[in-house]
Structure 1
């Protein structure tokens, strides 16, 4: 009986660790996110954005919570809160997933959220300038 209990505990812990290790890391990720309106989809204001300010927002300062809480420190969709979300948060490090996501599409999703996912809208707590800073940080530092 004792061996069976130990084996069960080990099996459960192994499954938990394996699930946590791979949460959000799927590449490519399948998404059904609606395309941003044409004028927004094709916008790109990252040239004037500040990646350093974007990093501060991504890692600590965005409200109601920092992006890394769900997307993870390195952007793989494996943040502590993201592990509970279905679908998993966007994995910015997956080139196959991100290759067709324009800066304007990213801006639109951050500002308005993404229905059917855990991505909340940040348009009321971040200025457009701040959102472009986050987009620049993600594109330059996490999508390598």
Structure 2
């Protein structure tokens, strides 16, 4: 079991290190719309109907605090494993490591305005 975790973590790290192409960003956008937008909103600001019923509310990716607190590694881990105490579910059973990377990269570039 520990070796499986190590292999998965290594795959995430290697995927995170590769530069993004336009198709990767488009893939990330499609995944965001299908899996993330319902909670995090069309603009990534967490302003959705769902936000009114979740405690804590979904993360606002456009806030200065998010830009400061959310490292690439933390975001990959949060999407992969979920966030205890929140409605953020783990996506590792529904998305591949590459799909998770694409969605996170889209969020970081488009909503957090980070150029990595």
Is TM more than 0.5 here?
yes
Separation in 2, partners of 1:52, 1:111: 20
Separation in 1, partners of 2:31, 2:93: 14
Q: Please, which of 73, 87, 91 is the counterpart of residue 104 of structure 1?
A: 73
Q: Structure 2: state its 5+ residue gaps.
A: 1-8
Counterparts of 1:118-129 in structure 2, within 5 Å, are 118-129=87-98
Please give the per-residue CA displacement for 1:101-141, whole angstroms capped at 9, x wherever unaligned: 11111000001000000101111000000000001100110
Structure 1 segments of 4+ aligned residues over 3 angstroms from their partners:
43-46
Q: Structure 1: state its 5+ residue gaps.
A: 1-38, 61-65
Larger radius of gyration: 1
Answer 1 or 2: which has greater helix percent: 2
C-alpha distance 46-58 of structure 1, shift in aligned 2 (>3 A): farther
Whether the 8 Å CA contact 1:46–1:133 is kept in 2: the answer is: no
Give yes or no for the alignment of 1:57 onto 2:31. Answer: yes
Compute the TM-score of the two structures, normalised by the length of structure 1.
0.63
What residue is the counterpart of 2:60 in the other structure?
Answer: 91
